[in-house]
Amino acid sequence: MSTASLAKSDYETPNRSWYKRNEISVTPWLFLAPAILFFAAYVIIPIFQSFEISLFAWDGLGAREYIGTENYVELWDDPAFYTSLKNNVIWLILYLLAIPAGLFIALFLNQTVMGIRLYKSLFFFPFVISQVVVGLVFTWFYDPTFGLLNTIIGWVGLGPINVLGDPTYVTYGIIAAGLWPQTAYCMILYLTGLNAVDPEQIEAARLDGAKGWRMLWYVIVPQLKPATFIAFVVTIVGALRSFDLISVMTNGGPFGESRVLSFYMFEVALSEYGFRMGYGAAIAVVLFFIMLFFIAYFLYSMYQDERGR
């Protein structure tokens, strides 16, 4: 025993505590603990709980009844589910228009003239406003009796169209409202990206005779790749999170034609139409897997980036 303690005192003074000896390996976990705890309780664990709940019939209050995959079987034959899914696809595709639109506005505003900073801020304005207010603003904009849209197309002898009351137009009308703040967001990403474009490369390309579209596509857009990636991520996430606008503008109507999965889930699980938590959870699981496909891609891209450092 005495030899052992002697050996120890050779490399360490006895008053160094366990914490002191393991400081470098323990500290990160101490610092991570609160965030991980919160994140696990409110985000990670609930994902798995939702998977579980989707296998039950449950009204949120009484006893749960295990019904296996019945919720998913019902979903398979639910026309409202397919309407929502179809609308989700339309949202995803059309929402991506925010990226070229944002780039276009950014190119337009990327000049140095008097007051351009204020112009840039004001163009960015719609993104700062809550989606609820954007929804209200566009509901009035589309209003068939006094809305600005119908007033304007009335001048050229068209209309009136009740955009939000017509099953064929309603989803497009809401997406247009959503594109407004989203385009502003993409614009600001590109404006920042354009600041970092290398002027020497542009000069070199100009000497080589590149101009117009070719200059844009082959010289400028490749240099904006990081901005495009972020714009893509936030636009996809935004499209799949579309809930506020639908809830405020149409509440899913007319005849449920403007529902998307996120809204339909809420309607099934937590609205006057019922408290079917199990069925709602099943819809959420489907939505989760659609998102997971994109999350995997985002993480893969980030991983490549990390390794490149």
Partner 1 sequence: MFPTPIQKSPRSWQITYQSFLPVALIMWLLPLLAVALFSVKPEGDFSGGNYWSLPSSFGGFENYGRVFFESDMPRYLLNSLLITVPTAIGAVALSCMAGFALGIYKFKLNLWVFFLFVAGNFVPFQILMVPVRDLTLDMGLYNTKTGLVLFHIAFQSGFCTLFMRNFIKGLPFALIEAARVEGIAEWRIFIYIVLPLMKPAIAALSVLIFTFIWNDYFWAIVLTQGVESQPVTAGITSFNAQFRAAYHLMSAGAIVAALPPVAMFFLMQKHFIAGLTLGAVK
Task: Map the footprint of partner 1 across residues 275-304, applying CB under 8 A.
Answer: 277, 280-281, 283-285, 287-288, 291, 294-295, 298-299, 302-303
CA nearest 186: which of 99, 118, 272, 104? 99
Mark the segment that binds partner 1 (CB under 8 A) among 1-9, 34-42, 76-84, 164-172. 34-42
Long-range Cβ contacts of 60-68 (<8 Å, 24+ apart): 60/269, 60/275, 60/277, 61/275, 64/278, 67/278
Q: Which of 2, 15, 111, 168 binds partner 1 (CB under 8 A)?
A: 111
**Cβ–Cβ under 8 Å, residues 77 and 288:** no
**Cβ–Cβ under 8 Å, residues 78 and 279:** no
The number of beta carbons lying within 10 Å of the beta carbon of residue 106 is 23
- Residue 43 as a binder of partner 1 (CB under 8 A): the answer is yes
Q: Which of 49, 76, 204, 222 binds partner 1 (CB under 8 A)?
A: 49
**Cβ–Cβ under 8 Å, residues 80 and 259:** yes
Q: Which of 240, 250, 257, 259 binds partner 1 (CB under 8 A)?
A: 240
- Residue 133 as a binder of partner 1 (CB under 8 A): the answer is yes
Q: Least distance from C-beta 8 to partner 1, angstroms? A: 21
Tell me which DSSP letter residue 42 carries.
I
Of residues 254-273, those binding partner 1 (CB under 8 A): 261-262, 265-266, 269-270
Q: Least distance from C-beta 260 to partner 1, angstroms? A: 10
Count of residues binding partner 1 (CB under 8 A)? 98
